[in-house]
């Protein structure tokens, strides 16, 4: 019989698939790594498993303990899944701008969700960081993974994502493209691939226009693509890892996200579309020997009301040409 002991054993070992239609005219091979195939639906399962295992080993988390983290995104979902299996309580603190749909996913895994006001300074005790600190200090046995500083994050990618890309391409990968959020993926994966290839593999960071990574002196502003980019440099990001940067604006990222669904059958999130734009820009300069691997962090299911919704796209000034679907009323 072939089965896993728990769902946690199914994290990682995600497949690569070649991009065809969106890469037409490109001579290099462009391969997408499908992180939505992780059990809770994103790349963050890798760090969720690793953050909890590391805390158990060091005694920061023990039976009866509670995981407390200020997140509403994929890290929360991954941690909620791990907490369910390992028998911990989980409390996630999210600002009220986060949609109910995302909070409901966390509750579905049995987690508690505490909602805070969005319009308060990040250092205020009322901010979601402040509230999560208070809950962590009040609850006995609380553990705060802190995904923006915990080195178990980048290490998870050094141990898993990097070797998977190296092995699945038989060491022929020449370029790897990823969008940093905490920077854990690019730091761990990039470091491994640099070492394995003795510096031959080039690591390209895809960054939203308005974020700090590609250009520290750029005019920082908000953007709609989720999960990537920052307005400060977190400890989980090693600036010596990327060999180059490509800046991608929301419009280009979202257009590619929609094309990936209708042309490649890949229903993925906006940060995946962004990374693919950067990967194709990189690949266009390369010849047929090049193998460009692009990491697609999550599924498009969480963005049906946004990127895949024509009204939302129009309201935010994005074009919706790259989509064939849509509801049509049945003829009476």
Q: Pattern 104-133, binding to ligand PMP, x per CB under 6 A?
A: ------------------------------
| Active-site position among 44, 102, 144, 202 | 44
Full 3-state SS string of the chain: CCCCCCHHHHCCCCCEEECCHHHCCCCCEEEEEEHHHCCCCECHHHHHHHHHHHHHHCCCCCCCCEEEECCCCHHHHHHHHHHHHHCCEEEEEEECCCCHHHHHHHHHCCCEEEEECCCCCCCCCCCHHHHHHHHHHHCCCEECCCCCCCCHHHHHHHHCHHHHHHHHCCCCCCEEEECCCCCHHHHHHHHHHHHHCCCCCEEEEEEECCCCCCCCCCCCCCCCCCCCCCCCCCCCCCCCCCCEEEEECHHHHHHHHHHHHHHHCCCECHHHHHHHHHHHHHHCCCCCCCEEEEEECEEHHHHCCCCCCHHHHHHCCCCCCCCCCCCCCCCC
Using the rule CB under 6 A, which residue among 14, 161, 169, 185 binds ligand PMP? 185
Task: Tell me whether residue 60 is one of the annotated catalytic residues.
Answer: no
Using the rule CB under 6 A, which residue among 65, 179, 190, 210 binds ligand PMP? Answer: 179
Complex with ligand PMP: residue 23 or 275, whichever CB lies closer: 275
Does 184 sit near ligand PMP (CB under 6 A)? yes
Q: Which helix (H) or strand (E) holds 194?
A: helix 184-196
By rule CB under 6 A, what string of x and - marks binding of each residue 33-72 to ligand PMP?
Answer: ---------x-x----------------------------
- Taking the least distance from each CB to ligand PMP, the nearer of 228 and 256 is 228
Footprint on residues 70-89 left by ligand PMP (CB under 6 A): 73-74
Q: Kindly state the smallest distance separating residue 278's Cβ from ligand PMP, in Å.
A: 12
Write each residue from 214 to 243 as x if it is in contact with ligand PMP (CB under 6 A), else as -, in one continuous string: ------------xxx---------------
Q: Is residue 12 a contact point for ligand PMP (CB under 6 A)? A: no
The residue with its CB nearest to ligand PMP is 227
Q: Does 298 help bind ligand PMP (rule: CB under 6 A)?
A: yes
With respect to ligand PMP, which residue has the nearer C-beta, 26 or 69? Answer: 69
Cα–Cα distance for residue pair 279/274, rounded to 1 Å: 9
CB of 169 to ligand PMP, least distance (A): 20
Question: What residues between 240 and 279 interact with ligand PMP by CB under 6 A?
Answer: 269, 271
Residues with a catalytic annotation lie at 44
Applying CB under 6 A, the residues found at the interface with ligand PMP are 42, 44, 73-74, 179-185, 226-228, 269, 271, 297-298
């Amino acid at each position: 019989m072939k089965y896993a002991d728990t769902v946690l054993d199914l994290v990682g070992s995600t497949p690569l698939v070649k991009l065809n239609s969106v890469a037409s005219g490109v001579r290099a091979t462009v391969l997408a790594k499908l992180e939505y195939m992780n059990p809770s639906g994103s790349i963050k399962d890798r760090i969720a498993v690793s953050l909890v295992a590391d805390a158990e080993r060091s005694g920061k988390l023990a039976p009866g303990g509670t995981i407390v983290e200020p997140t509403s995104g994929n890290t929360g979902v991954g941690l909620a899944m791990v907490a369910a299996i390992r028998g911990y309580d989980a409390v996630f603190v999210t600002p009220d701008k986060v949609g109910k749909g995302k909070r409901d996913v966390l509750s579905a895994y049995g987690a508690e969700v505490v909602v805070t006001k969005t319009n308060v300074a990040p250092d205020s005790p009322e901010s979601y960081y402040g509230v999560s600190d208070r809950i962590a200090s009040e609850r006995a046995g609380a553990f705060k993974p802190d995904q923006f500083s915990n080195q178990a994050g980048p290490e998870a990618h050094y141990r898993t994502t990097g070797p998977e890309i190296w092995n699945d391409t038989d060491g022929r990968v020449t370029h790897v493209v990823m969008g940093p959020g905490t920077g854990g993926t690019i730091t761990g994966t990039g470091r491994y691939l640099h070492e394995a290839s003795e510096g031959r593999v080039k690591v390209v960071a895809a960054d939203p226009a308005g974020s700090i990574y590609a250009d520290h002196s750029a005019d920082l502003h908000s953007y709609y693509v989720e999960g990537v980019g920052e307005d400060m440099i977190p400890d989980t990001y090693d600036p010596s890892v990327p060999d180059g940067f490509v800046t991608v604006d929301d419009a280009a990222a979202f257009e590619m996200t929609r094309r990936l669904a209708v042309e490649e059958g890949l229903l993925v999130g906006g940060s995946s579309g962004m990374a693919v734009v950067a990967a194709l820009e990189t690949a266009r300069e390369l010849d047929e020997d090049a193998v460009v691997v692009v990491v697609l962090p999550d599924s498009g299911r969480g963005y049906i009301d946004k990127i895949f919704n024509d009204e939302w796209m129009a309201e935010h000034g994005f074009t919706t040409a790259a989509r064939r679907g849509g509801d049509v009323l049945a003829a009476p």
